[in-house]
Amino acid sequence: MTLWRIGYSARLLKTNRFRTAASNTSFPAVWMLLAQYSGRVPGLFVVVKKNNFFTMPETVEDKANLELYLPHPEVRGMTQLNREAFKRTVVVPVLKVKKEIVNTLLKSIKHMILQRPGLKRVVEDPEDEDSRLVILDPHKISEFSLGESDQEVLKQLNVHPEVSKYNLELTYENFKSEEILRAVLPEGQEVTSGFSRVGHIAHLNLRDHQLPYRHLIGQVIIDKNPGITCVVNKTNIIDSTYRNFQMEVLAGESNLVTKVKENNITYELDFSKVYWNPRLSTEHGRIVELLKPGDVLFDVFAGIGPFAIPAAKKKCCVFANDLNPESYSWLLHNCKLNKVGHKIKAFNMDGRDFLLGPVREELSRELPLLKEEQKTSFHIVMNLPALAIEFLDVFRHLLAGEPCSTAGLPTVHCYSFSKHDDPAKDVRERAEASLGTSLDGRCSTYLVRNVAPNKEMLCISFQIPAEVLYKRPCPDGAIPASKRVCSSRDFSEAKVELKKS
């Protein structure tokens, strides 16, 4: 294909880029490879700062001049990384310029200078030590010649407008991750993949067709992402008991003890033994934002403390529990690390036992002492989306006696997955079934994130209704003494019977 046609194709792609951006569709692969001059097209992995999730954009393959800036075609099918095999030479247009005016020229013609990360825009002239060669974008230069307006700019700077050819050597370091993987994997197979970054660890979920290339993919990720020294691939689903999973180290060191920073708080953990998901940082912050100094937080499935520790930092009283002994150990470690150990009471119990034990004891002691003017709130966080809703039945008649004021009733934040067409309705109905009462008009649901196609993670928040939380002593004489403890509904019915008599 001639350089004129290359430039024409790039201009067409530029038009398509703006069209597709409006409809939020994928860019053509050739645009991703050739149109980097704009400075606005992301590379392989786009950093989402809120949750540390990195993703390669979907691309649509285009046959137009893919050889330019692509690795050598012989790398196709490579499974063990050989960086030397990626070398190749391409011909690019250059301008010969006196070295003392290079900076001025760069500012004047920046719209047609080659803008590609890792490549020098200015190189030495092998034939003249007093001159430099300025590399131009071949997609802006038709047939290695400049337009009249560009020639006029060069004349004003006393630069000869003749465009020369230059053999530019490209190496492994000059190619982006997506370009390398697209060149290596079988043609037509998807190379898109995402990873979560947990400190120095990149966590992948590779698809079956990518597995033969997994060690190469891991090494490429290390090479192209500073700070990552270990790449792992999940090899099974998350265990519902301890919320961890088996993994294979694909590349780099095998050290899985790492340090992360979330919402300005530092945590340390063994990623192979505890649950940590950087995509939940925004949700952790959202819940903690609801708390006020002096509030009480019960974290039923606390993990290593992403709800508990920032809540304690906010001067809340925190009860944190996790069944996994490793999570409990790292929770204690992170409490000390963040100097909040005196504000957090930590437990290593089953979630149901935690609710029936420490939570019930604390609520039984504190709720009767609340006065109307006091503003202490009680929050119960249940972040085990695979099972948490099944624990809600614990709240049925958890406490005995008369209910406190409505404002003092604990607020529950319960997480759940849903594959339903109406996930909010689905989660509410399942919560109602566990509680044995309607939450219509008494709850809110919040979409946390999309976990997979047709699978959402939601948080349902509600104050536990008094008729659910309390069992009350029945009025004397209403029923036999052997049945003097009854529910709120029984209590109301007994009062009606007394009035009738």
- β-pairing, 122-124 with 411-418? unpaired
- For residue 102, give both structure tokens: 């290079």
- For residue 180, give both structure tokens: 């390398």
pLDDT of residue 337: 97
Closest CA to 379 of 306, 468, 292: 292
200 annotated ligand binder: no
pLDDT of residue 419: 95
Distance CA 349, CA 391 (A): 14
255 annotated ligand binder: no
Block mean pLDDT (10 aa), the chain, length 501: 38 39 37 35 32 41 48 89 91 88 84 82 88 86 76 82 87 89 87 83 90 94 94 72 74 95 96 92 97 97 97 97 97 97 96 97 90 82 96 96 81 97 96 96 95 93 95 55 42 41 36
426 annotated ligand binder: no
pLDDT of residue 13: 40
CA angle 489/495/496 to nearest 5° reads 95
Residue 320 CA to its chain's centroid (Å): 24
Helix (H, G, I), strand (E, B) or coil at 378: strand
Distance CA 345, CA 171 (A): 56
Contact (CB, 8 A) for 201 and 231? yes
Residue 88 CA to its chain's centroid (Å): 36
351 annotated ligand binder: yes
181 annotated ligand binder: no
383 annotated ligand binder: yes
Question: CA dihedral in degrees (214, 220, 224, 229; nearest 10)?
Answer: 70
Contact (CB, 8 A) for 335 and 344? yes
pLDDT of residue 383: 97
Contact (CB, 8 A) for 421 and 488? no
- β-pairing, 378-382 with 399-400? unpaired
Architecture of domain 88-170: 2-Layer Sandwich (3.30)
Contact (CB, 8 A) for 344 and 316? no
Domain ranges for the chain: 3-77+175-252, 88-170, 280-471
- β-pairing, 317-321 with 230-234? unpaired
Closest CA to 36 of 165, 151, 140: 140
User: 280-471, what's its fold?
Assistant: Rossmann fold (3.40.50)
The neighbouring-strand residues paired with 261 are 266
Question: Same CATH fold, 280-471 and 3-77+175-252?
Answer: no
Distance CA 35, CA 463 (A): 54
Provide the whole-model pTM.
0.73
CATH 3.30.300.110 fits 3-77+175-252, yes or no: yes
Distance CA 388, CA 245 (A): 19
